[in-house]
C-alpha cells in the first residue's frame, strides 16, 4: 500500500473514532438530562469499567505471550473496528461497541484452521496447565484489581467511622413518628429540634449529656436513654478546643423509647496502616465473593420481579445491569455527600463489579472462560484415564459439537442482559443517599 493511500485510510479511521466518541458523549448527555455531576459520574464509571476490561484481556495477553503463544489481536469492544495499530505480530485496537473486549490467540480450539507454521505456537498445542493459566488469568486480574482498589480505599481515602460523638448534622425539627424520623421528614413535625434550640452545631463533639460522659456514639445513646423528655438537662460539647455547656429540653418522638436530641454523627474517615488495609481488603473481598455467589444463585428467582412495583424488596432488587450501576454512580456524583463518601462508594462499586464479573466469567459454560477451562480440565482427565488403560491420548474435544450449546447460552446471556437493562431503565431501584 502506498503512503498516500495509507494516510487516507488512517484519516478515515480517525474520523470514525471521533464520530463514535461524540455520539457516545451525546448519548450520555441525553440520558442524564444535561446534569454535569451525573454525566461526570457515568463517565468515571465507564472509564473504570473499560480499565477492568483492559486488565482482563491483559491477563490473557501477558500469560499467552509468556508461554510463547501467538497473539494476533488485542481489542477493546466488539463490532466494527474504529481504530487499530500493529505492533509486531499483534493488532491493537478499539471497536464500536464498548461492551467488553477480546484477545485473539491462534488455535484456541480444535475447530480453528491455522497455518501449519503457526501450529507449534498455537494455544491448543501447549500443555494443559499453561492453557488453564491463560484462561483463568482474566478473572484473576479482576480479583487482583478489586483487592488493589479495596487496599487503596482503606490506606489512602480511609474508612468511615461514625463511632465518634462529633456532630455531623443538626436536625431542624422533631419528627411526628419513627417512620418520619427514619425518612428525615419534617412534614407535620412537632416543632423545632432540641439540638437546634440549644444551639448545637455541626463539628461540635459531645463529651457529656446530663453529666454522663460520652466517649463514643453508643455511650451517647445510653446517656440519652437515661434522660427524660421534657425535662431540662445539660449537654457538654467540645467546640473549637473549648468546653461549652448548653442547656436543652429533650423531646419525645411517638413510638421511640429514648428521648430525642436531634443530632446525627459525623462520618470521620480514618486511614488504615498497610497491614490493616490488607486485612480489610481480604475481609471485604471474601464477603463480596459470598454476596456475588448468592446473587448468581438467586438470578433465576429474581427475573419474575424485575418489573414489579416493589422490586427493591424482592430478589430482583439485589441485581442490576451495567447501566443500573452506572446510573447509581451518577446519582452518587450529583448527591450532596462529601467527596470522601462519594469516592469510597465508587471504589466499592467498582470492586464489587470486578469480583462479580470475575466469578461469573468462571462459570463452566461456553463461551465464558470458565467453559473453555472446563473443557481443558475434561481433556486432561480423559487423557489421564486413557493412560491408565494403556491407550493413546484422545486429544482435543471436538468443539463443533459444542457450538449449538455455546450459541444457546450466548443467546440466553444477551437476552438476560437486555432484560436487566430494560428493568433498570423503566423500573430502577433507587438508593437512599
| Domain total in the chain | 2
In a domain, 342, yes or no: yes
The CATH number of the domain holding residue 187 is 2.30.42.10
Residue 4 located in a structural domain: no
Asked whether residue 217 is domain-assigned, the answer is yes
Residues 44 and 145 in one domain: yes
Per-residue pLDDT for 129 more than 90?
yes
Q: Say whether both 283 and 397 belong to one domain.
A: yes
**Comparing 125 with 415, which gets the higher pLDDT?**
125
For cell 473453555, the residue is: 372
Q: Looking at the domain assignment, is residue 432 inside a domain?
A: yes
- Nearest residue to 417 via CA among 303, 263, 253, 291: 303
Give counts: helices (H), strands (E), the chain.
11, 10
Distance between CA atoms of residues 256 and 355, nearest Å: 40
Of the pLDDT bands very low, low, confident and very high (cuts 50, 70, 90), residue 432 is: low
pLDDT single digits (tens) 28-79: 555 555 567 677 777 788 788 888 888 999 999 999 999 999 999 999 887 8
Give the pLDDT score at 431: 63
Q: Identify whether 8 is part of a domain.
A: no
pLDDT at 15: 47
Does pTM surpass 0.95? no
Residues 151 and 181 in one domain: no
How many C-beta neighbours within 10 Å does residue 167 have?
22
394 occurs within a structural domain: yes
Determine the structural domain holding residue 304 and report its residue range: 32-70+106-158+270-433
Q: What is the DSSP letter of 173?
A: B
- pLDDT tens digits, 280-334: 999 999 998 988 888 778 778 888 888 888 787 777 777 777 777 877 787 777 7
Distances (CA, A) of 212 to 156, 205, 236: 36, 14, 10
Domain check: are 153 and 173 in the same one? no
Query: 152 and 214 share a domain?
Result: no
**Statement to judge: residues 293 and 430 lie in one domain:** yes
Is residue 76 assigned to a domain? no
Amino acid at each position: 500500500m502506498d503512503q498516500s493511500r495509507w494516510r487516507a485510510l488512517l484519516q478515515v479511521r480517525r474520523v470514525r473514532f471521533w464520530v463514535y466518541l461524540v455520539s457516545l458523549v451525546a448519548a450520555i448527555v441525553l440520558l442524564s438530562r444535561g446534569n454535569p455531576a451525573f454525566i461526570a459520574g457515568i463517565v468515571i464509571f465507564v472509564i473504570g469499567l473499560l480499565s477492568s476490561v483492559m486488565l482482563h484481556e491483559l491477563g490473557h495477553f501477558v500469560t499467552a505471550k509468556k508461554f510463547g503463544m501467538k497473539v494476533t489481536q488485542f481489542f477493546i469492544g466488539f463490532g466494527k473496528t474504529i481504530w487499530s495499530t500493529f505492533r509486531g505480530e499483534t493488532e491493537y485496537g478499539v471497536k464500536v461497541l464498548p461492551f467488553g473486549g477480546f484477545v485473539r490467540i491462534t488455535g484456541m480450539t480444535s475447530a480453528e484452521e491455522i497455518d501449519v507454521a503457526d501450529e507449534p505456537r498455537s494455544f491448543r498445542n501447549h500443555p494443559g496447565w499453561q492453557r488453564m493459566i491463560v484462561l483463568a488469568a482474566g478473572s484473576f486480574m479482576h480479583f487482583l484489581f478489586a483487592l488493589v482498589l479495596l487496599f487503596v480505599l482503606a490506606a489512602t481515602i480511609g474508612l468511615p467511622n461514625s463511632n465518634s460523638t462529633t456532630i455531623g448534622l443538626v436536625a431542624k425539627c422533631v419528627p411526628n413518628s419513627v417512620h418520619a424520623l427514619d425518612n428525615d421528614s419534617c412534614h407535620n413535625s412537632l416543632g423545632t429540634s432540641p439540638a437546634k434550640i440549644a444551639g448545637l452545631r455541626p463539628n461540635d463533639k459531645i463529651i457529656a449529656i446530663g453529666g454522663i460522659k460520652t466517649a463514643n456514639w453508643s455511650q451517647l445513646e445510653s446517656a440519652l436513654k437515661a434522660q427524660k423528655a421534657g425535662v431540662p438537662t445539660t449537654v457538654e460539647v467540645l467546640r473549637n478546643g473549648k468546653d461549652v455547656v448548653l442547656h436543652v429540653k429533650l423531646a419525645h418522638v411517638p413510638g421511640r423509647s429514648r428521648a430525642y436530641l436531634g443530632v446525627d454523627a459525623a462520618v470521620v474517615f480514618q486511614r488504615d496502616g498497610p497491614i490493616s488495609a490488607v486485612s480489610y481488603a481480604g475481609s471485604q473481598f471474601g464477603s463480596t465473593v459470598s454476596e456475588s455467589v448468592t446473587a448468581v444463585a438467586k438470578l433465576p428467582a429474581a427475573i419474575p420481579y424485575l418489573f414489579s412495583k416493589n422490586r427493591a424488596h424482592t430478589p430482583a432488587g439485589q441485581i442490576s445491569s451495567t447501566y443500573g450501576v452506572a446510573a447509581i454512580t451518577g446519582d452518587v456524583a450529583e448527591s450532596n455527600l462529601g467527596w470522601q463518601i462519594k469516592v469510597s462508594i465508587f471504589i466499592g462499586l467498582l470492586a464489587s463489579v470486578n469480583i462479580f464479573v470475575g466469578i461469573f466469567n468462571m462459570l463452566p459454560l461456553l463461551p465464558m472462560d470458565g467453559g473453555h477451562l472446563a473443557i481443558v480440565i475434561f481433556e486432561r482427565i480423559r487423557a489421564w484415564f486413557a493412560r491408565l488403560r494403556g491407550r493413546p491420548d484422545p486429544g482435543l474435544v471436538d468443539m463443533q459439537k459444542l457450538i449449538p450449546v455455546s450459541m444457546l447460552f450466548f443467546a440466553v446471556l444477551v437476552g438476560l442482559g437486555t432484560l436487566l437493562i430494560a428493568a433498570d431503565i423503566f423500573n430502577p431501584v433507587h438508593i437512599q443517599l
